[in-house]
Amino acid sequence: MNRPLLRAIRATLAYDGSAFSGSQLQKADRTVASEVNKALEKVLAHPVRVRVASRTDAGVHATGQVISFRTSSPRTPGEIYRALNGLLPGDIRVTECSEVDFTFHPRYSARGKAYLYRILRAKQLPPMSREYVLFIEEARRFDPDALARAAEVFEGEHDFRSLSPRLEDGENPVKTIWRVLVTRDGSLTEVRFYGSGFMYQMVRRMMGLLVAIAEGREPESAAKEALESPVTGSVRYNASPKGLFLERVFYTDAEMAEAIGKTVGGVSG
């Protein structure tokens, strides 16, 4: 006899994407969702299919991926949290778990997301960093100031279709990037994108274009031209997934404003 699904649970995941074929379920491949579903079925004693806030490609990491699922299990969020972390493989961890209203959807309830991209310039790529950065040899031309200037062009509301190879059915290519923050710490350059939403491969294509600009393969004007002449998939640069992290998903304007220190939806940070 089927038991009613009486409760909705939200959880935040961190994972090393190196050995996953992305976050979404796939028939034959190992994915984040498939591993979580498998562990949850043991914890809850009934089949589960999680919803995911954001699709991440193979090799992309996360520190703040959000999932939700429904259950008839009497287990508390704290018990689910502990049991899941005892069963999940070492490259996935649950960092938060709570009960939510049935109206919550990790993707459609989201107000915005933050992505981080990491670039390392050095003489050699340290073995322990090889899956977590885009490596650029120190001897190669690379102008981080040009990258930062071009990145500012992406801020604001724009049609970003040029920076995605495809649009989902009914998807609006007009997105708002609240802030692009470029920071440098020695050999490491980090680029954070805070936005209302991102299309398929959009962050990787923005980064691919920014790196091409920093290396002198494209003029700084290329970022502006991609926005002013939107043609689906016209930007073909696609940065490695290894340097990309889904850092956080925001569910209120106040969360976003606090994170970026700017006004979002009329709320000041």
d(CA 26, CA 96): 25
d(CA 191, CA 66): 21
d(CA 47, CA 40): 8
Backbone angles phi, psi at 188, to 5 degrees: -105, 130
Burial 186-224 (b: 16+ CB within 10 A, else e): eeebbbbbbbbbbbbbbbbbbbbbbbbbbeeebeeebbe
Would you call 106 helix, strand, or coil by DSSP? coil
Q: Where are the alpha helices (DSSP H) in the chain?
A: 32-44, 77-87, 144-152, 202-214, 221-228, 253-260
Backbone angles phi, psi at 84, to 5 degrees: -60, -45
Is 57 designated active site? Answer: yes
Question: Of 16, 29, 57, 185, which one is the catalytic site residue?
Answer: 57
DSSP structure class, residue 163: G
d(CA 122, CA 31): 32
Residues designated catalytic: 57
